[in-house]
Amino acid sequence: MSRTFFVGGNWKMNGSISKYQELVNNLKGARLDDNSEVVIAPPYMYLLPAQELLKGNNRIQIGAQDAYFKPSGAFTGEISSAMLKDAQISWVIIGHSERRTLFHETDDEVAKKVQAALDENVKVILCIGESLEQREKGDSIKVVIGQLDAAAKSVKDWSKVVIAYEPVWAIGTGKVATKEQAQEVHAAIRDWLVKAIGQGDAEKVRIIYGGSVSGANCKELAAQKDIDGFLVGGASLKPEFVDIVNARL
């Protein structure tokens, strides 16, 4: 089954007013593969201004980098999926390794955030991945399947979820899983989906790779059977992001 290629750009805590304008305008002016779905996730304060710059553009969507699992309340510094829905932000990244490691989010908290987003009809980029220590112990697949098991309790409609496999040891380090390493884990995720939701629905779910993806390595990764796109960090702030979007051209 042919799945629409998906490329997300996670800007993380980077940018400025002039920088987000430059990045958005460069994307608007670029030739992007018509068969790729593109989502950019600026910092919260740039979400609505970026959305305004993209008005009338149906090629690039806006996503948030995180959202809390409560709809409102005394949670200083947080935003909710209800707010994203109100602002017509269509995607949110949940469970990124930096949220899990730096901010100590548990699998249970990730599941609650997934549930809250889907309840508001905000689509989810669900991040999973293992540490270097877990990989060296041979536990990569065990870890990511455990993370999926925890989040799956909150998912009734997998058509609104993109799974992002991001080995923690490859994020921002310059190290990249080989195409064989990445495909092995992606295939295991696909097998898990088949058992969880059936062959037909499992074939429709997109599984994307993240971890030091660049213009130099994106094409060989994109050629793998179960790699359906990328979640891009640092390279999403550079002109080569266009090359990554166009990895299958």
> Which residues form the catalytic set?
96, 166
* Enclosing H/E stretch for 140: helix 140-152
How far, CA to CA in Å, does 50 sit from each of 29, 138, 195, 239?
A: 15, 42, 40, 17
Q: Name the one residue in this structure whose structure tokens are 């005394």.
A: 74
Structure tokens at 239: 């002109």
Residues 6+ apart with CB under 8 A from 101: 168
Nearest to 164 by CA among 204, 210, 110: 210
Residues 6+ apart with CB under 8 A from 54: 24, 28, 60, 62
Reported in sequence order, the residue ranges of 149-201 that DSSP labels E, i.e. its strands, are 161-165
Nearest to 233 by CA among 12, 72, 60, 65: 12
Handedness of CA 23, 12, 42, 90 (dihedral sign): positive
Structure tokens at 156: 């009734």
